[in-house]
Amino acid sequence: MSFQTLKALEAFLENPTEELSGADVHKRSGIASGTLYPILLRLESAGWFVSRWETIDPVSAGRPRRRLYRLTRNGLARASDVFASFGRGVSA
Amino acid sequence: MNPDEVLSEPRAARSSREGRGWVEGVILSLIRYAARQAPPSLSARLEEEWLADLTARQGTIARLRFAFGCCWATRVIALELATAVGAAAGLSAGKTAALFAGAGPSILSRRTTVFVLIGALHTLVILALASGITREVLQAIPPIQVVSVPKAPERVEPPPPPAPTLEQFRPVVPLTPWTGEAPAGAISVPTVEGPPPTVSATPRQVIRVAGGPGPGFPNTEDYYPEASRRLEEKGLTTVSVCVDGAGRLAADPVVARSSGSVRLDAAAVRLAKAASGHYRPTTEDGRPVSSCYPFGVRFTLK
């Protein structure tokens, strides 16, 4: 797992139940778009994330709807394992 | 939702950005192009998603970076998906990526594209310089002004002052030539001239009469030492006295010229002291003035 992927996961683990758009992940992790969106799609294909369109009225909101990503239960567990393994590695 | 509809919905916010110029148009075109190059199943989704996330980027540079990032993301996504599908179908990654690219295999390789882009950029720069920008740049540069700085004049040493000549030291006030003539009957005793006469601009003859022994002056015989009489000492002692206008001594008299006998010289000084008040003062134009003058005291045996 690449360092950029870990940073993206870390952005979601701040609040695992929170849904984040690609712009939100960029703000939290600083990952460039060329790297971020492949990561999001890769993790979604792997079942770590689920995504949906934001349910807003673009006209009243004054902006287009965004694609929101959220950790799945499986993704949260595996991401927690990844970071926990890093923690064990450090503590050992 | 159709991506075109998405673009038209937030028109109020987007129109201001699009109005910034052709850069915004390039950004949108890049994102749309990148989305079209993605696998067909993801093309519409990615275009809408990226255009929506573009609104969160502030600043032209950040938006440009986002658009170029989307182009790169498309290639990565296509490659990963092709790898996964090709692995299942037994095809090579390049062929499957071309299949998922939507537009089919590109006639230009990546390296060729980069060379073409670099050449295009150089062409643009050359054309810009050859057209209006060159003239503007040349007009912006101030013309070179040749300023001729005059050669500094050689330092000329001032000529040395001319050698002093005797003519320059001539007195400004001409001295009155001394005639050597003394007033008649003025000298009764040897006299010494007083302070040198001052040179005046208007020379004037001053009648000066030197002083000397006056009425009641002591007698020399009264001061002849007895020892000198026995030793038959005799001689002339010259005594210098300073006398004021009233005929009194202004200072102690001194021996100006000795007689050869200490006793006779001392007797002459005692006589000069005793004669204070009996001297005849020197006069200038008839007015008594203070002066110093010698007079002789002669001791003779009878």
Of residues B103 and B61, the one with the higher pLDDT is: B61
A26/A15 Cα distance (integer angstroms): 16
Task: Answer yes or no: is pLDDT of B150 > 90.
Answer: no
Domain for residue B165, yes or no?
no
pLDDT (mean) for B46-65: 90
Does B274 map to a domain?
A: yes
Residue A54 near residue A61, CB atoms below 8 Å: no
Most A CBs within 10 Å, among B14, B31, B49, B74, to test the A interface: B49
C-alpha to C-alpha distance for A87 and A13, rounded to whole angstroms:
15
Q: Under an 8 A CB cutoff, do B80 and A33 touch?
A: no
| Domain final position from B104, B130, B145 | B104
Instruction: Please report the number of interchain residue pairs, chain A to chain B, with beta-carbon separation below 8 angstroms.
Output: 86
CA distances from A90 to A10, A56, A76, A84, A86 (A): 17, 44, 21, 10, 6
Q: What is the reported pLDDT for B13?
A: 55
The answer to whether B88 faces chain A, any CB pair under 8 Å, is: no
Are B249 and B243 within 8 A, CB to CB? yes
Asked if A87 and A11 count as a contact pair (C-beta separation under 8 A), the reply is no
The span from the first CA to the last CA of chain A, in angstroms, equals 21
pLDDT in tens, A6-46: 999 989 988 888 999 999 999 999 999 999 999 999 999 99
Q: What is the pTM of this model?
A: 0.44
Residues A4 and A42: beta-carbon distance below 8 Å: no
What's residue B24's pLDDT? 86
Task: Tell me if B291 sits within 8 A of B280, measured CB to CB.
Answer: no
In the predicted structure, residue A79 carries a pLDDT above the cut 50: yes
* Nearest CB neighbour to B55, from listed A27, A53, A63: A63
Across the interface, do B73 and A34 touch by the CB < 8 Å criterion? yes
> Which run of H or of E encompasses B262?
helix B262-274
Quick one: pLDDT at residue B196? 58
Q: Looking at CA atoms only, how far is residue A84 from chain B in angstroms?
A: 28
Q: Is A50 exposed, middle or buried (0-12, 13-18, 19+ CB in 10 A)?
A: middle
Q: What are the domain boundaries of chain A?
A: 3-54+63-87
Quick: pLDDT tens for B239-289. 999 998 888 998 899 999 998 889 999 999 999 999 999 988 888 888 898
Closest by Cβ to B55, choosing from A42, A59, A64: A64
Residue B129 lies in a domain: no
Can you give the residue range of the structural domain that contains B70?
A: 3-104
Lookup result for tokens 């979601």: A12
| Inter-chain residue contact B55 with A21, CB threshold 8 Å | no
Indicate the residue of B51, B69, B80 with minimum beta-carbon distance to A33: B69
pLDDT at B187: 46
Q: Which residue of A lies nearest to B66 if distances are taken between CA atoms?
A: A33
**CATH class of the region A3-54+63-87:** mainly alpha
